[in-house]
Amino acid sequence: MKTVMIVDDASTVRMFHKMLVSSDDRVVEEAENGVEALEKAIGTHIDLFLVDVNMPKMDGYRLCKEIRQNELLRAVPIIMISTESATQDAQRAYQCGANFYMTKPVNADSLKSVVSAVLGGS
């Protein structure tokens, strides 16, 4: 059983990503912002973070950094998903510790494949 945490302030997007990512052998956790994500992640086992960039309270970049600097979470792969069209974003995401960067709206098949690949499924 693998656990994916979806962090996005838009509940519509969370719901959509959840639909895409869900499967029989996966559990999906949701969080509205970085703060909530960290709170929930510590004390749970997470296998993958899907993180939005633009969020209130703690944005995606800071969340990435926090995850990477956290003893318990640092090995968890992070996929950043953003609608940002600013040129520096992918770069910044990678600097902050993301393993992969995708643009919203994600292609449903791409997201599924990437998530499967990261989780080591087929």
**Per-residue contact string for residues 92-121; x = within reach of another protein by CB under 8 A:** x-xxxx-xxxxxxx-x--x--xx--xxxx-
Structure tokens at 55: 């969020």
Report, in Å, the least distance between residue 24 CB and another protein. 18
For the chain, state the CA radius of gyration: 13
DSSP state letter for 31: E
Nearer Cβ to another protein (24/78): 78
CA torsion sign, 82 to 71 to 56 to 32? Answer: positive
29 has which bridge partners? Answer: 5
Residues at the interface with another protein (CB under 8 A) = 9-13, 15-16, 19, 34-35, 38-39, 54, 56-58, 61-62, 64-66, 68-69, 74-78, 82-92, 94-97, 99-105, 107, 110, 113-114, 117-120
